[in-house]
Chain A
Amino acid sequence: MKPGGLIGGATAVLLSVVVFLVPFAFIVLQAMKGKQEAALLEFSWPQDIQLVQNISEVIKARDYVLIIAFINSTILTIASVTLMVICGSMIAYVLQRRQSRINPLVNGLVLAGLIIPPAVVPTIWVMQALHIFKTMPGLILVELAFGLSFTVLTMRAFIGSIPKELDEAAIIDGAGPIRLFFKVIFPLLRSVIVTIIVVQSVFVFNDFQNPLYFLPGEKNATVQLTLFNFQSQYDTSYNLLFTNILLITIPPLIMYIFFNKRIVAGMTAGAVKG
């Protein structure tokens, strides 16, 4: 290794510690402190470590609202991402394989979904008419609608790489469209499905705006909403606030540790064209 690489690397490591690690270390340190010590907002090692007490206090706060929120967020994430994968792959598959006159229209709609900001109040109006406003199924469908475009785009590119001869062989063997797709094609999409699951579940789990609009109220709050409400309710309990932040950051962290490569693949799709 050249000395330039060593010096550049060392400088970069030092900078990265200051810029990126200190804020995370601060979260962890604050979460370990007692109330009075945390209120000082100092970047220091806690005098006595109260992480466990803090966690139990955060969980017990307001009748276990955080546990309920975790359950809600989990249901929301699993349901909406499952629907994205199934509906998105079906659309991407037909869009990629079939030459049809409506393809340009479908392609245009997919791009529109990426660019256009959702119209909030009209969406609420439609949801009220369908009696799904302020309900979990309603929010699940909203997340599906807003996340579909990215899913279709990513999957279409991948399906293009599956040889068409495979379909032809299955058709010749007498497979109908449903069997062809779910038995032959769908299993081959495994790697892109994992990518979509990881990227979209981080996205849905972290979403703040859509739950705020479409699932307001205490009862069905998601973790991001409880964290936000926590701030106003426990204005001076910085230790509990940061314990809450820490707990909510753990699921995406786990996702990242296990699916590092998949996340990178999903998020950089489109960077290398042609």
Chain B
Amino acid sequence: MSNEEARLLLSGNEAVAQAAVDLGFALGTGYPGTPSTEILENFSLFGGKAQWAPNEKVALEVGLGAAYAGARCLVTMKHVGVNVAADPLFTAAYTGVAGALVLTAADDPGMASSQNEQDTRHYARAAGVPCIEPADSQQAYDALASAVEMSERWQMPVILRLTTRVCHSKTIVRRRQLPKPQTAPHFRRDPQTWVMIPAYARPAHRKLRAKLSEIAQWSETAEINRVEPGRDGGELGIITAGVTTVHCREAAPEATILQLGTTWPLPMKKIRSFADSVKRCLVVEEGDPFLAENLRAAGINVESKDEMYRFGEMSVTRVKRILSGDTSEEFVPPRGKPPALCPGCPHRDVFGLLRDLGCIVSGDIGCYTLGVLPPFQAIDTCVCMGASIGVGLGLRHALPEEEARKVVSVIGDSTFAHSGLTGLMEMIYNPPPTGHLVMILDNGTTAMTGLQEHPGTGRKLDHQPTNRIVFEDVARAMGMANVHVIDPNKDPQGLERMVREALASNELTLIVARRPCILAAGKIKGYEKAIAEGKGDTCNE
């Protein structure tokens, strides 16, 4: 490579994508989710083979298969996506891999664009999967190389944990020569390793724990866990990880800092000797007190942050407060203008109607969750991807008839592809006495995360044509009798008639309200035109 010295200004997401190209990853797969989305988009732009899966579980399973075949595979998702992928993750830790499998999970402390602020490090510990955390884009680039090294050496999946401020901050990166895969993919028949029946899983669990203790041993001297001296010659020591490291460095130039690049398993000997080497030792971490609790459980005496700092993002100001033991009320910045559904958004037509009809709306995850805010205030529940259908059915089963009749489930097109089918199956299998109405708000894109493709658009991640899943056909094939498709903007009266009829009946109804997202409509036309002219990728902006 001739560009070893070149300085680049990259976001953490771009840096991971660049490293994946430089490491010769064979495949990147995942499901869009802020703040992780741009990793796969950039991997594709930089020349990698990247694809959106219907959801994170499928993505991790595809990644696992590729890694069983001996390839290097990157699987990306946001923190809540790890919940969806948790089932394969826990057993993938047992089977291990033949190639390399890196699960990049992007946490969102402070919930800039999420429904909770869960901490992926708990999954690393619970599943027994190593976890690496970078502080900036250069470290993110290097961390993917470390993750591959660990995944290939111990033949197991590795979690690369990013957070919003790593994903979406641009910092300077220098690429370097990274090792490409040594062998071509090939299937090695080995049922005792790949087939997790109890007889094979019992020794696999012991093997996993043995690997983790080897990794813990390795991490004691690994360069990724670094001590950086401060000015005070060992008075104050801070143990930290991720982007909090640079907040600490800025807030406390006097401190000696131990940055943990591996946050699972932990280099306990190194941490213990660090804690012993300074007069005052403090753990400063964003989110849950994961490090502090694990260090204390190991008998290492450290100070840690007050409970008030579990919530929201860490910052230079907060680190200063933690160091001085300040637990007074924090400054609350004045609120700006809240986000809203765009002018011309097709969801507006649907929410106006549901509000006017006094519906109880079981909502889902996407732009349309903004239907909860004025002027609509037409979303009553929102939990997780796909929950609109199940929660709506539960409401219908439990509520008295008059209220039950008002319940509607609304779900976006990408969210339906992600987790809607099993909810629909439940509705057909266990129909409530008053029936139910599900509305797919199909705007032809994954809008909230930045207009990504999904199986219902008929185009792949790079906007090239592929097979399309037609939701109304699937619903009919599943046995739904009342399936309607309508443009909510062109035919509002028709939509109102359909909704009123469905609510009055005791039947099951699916309405697909289909009209492209106002932000995506022009781009979609461009993709379609390019495909028609046989030059699909010219519109890939």
Physical interaction between A and B: no
Interface residues of B (CB under 8 A from A): none
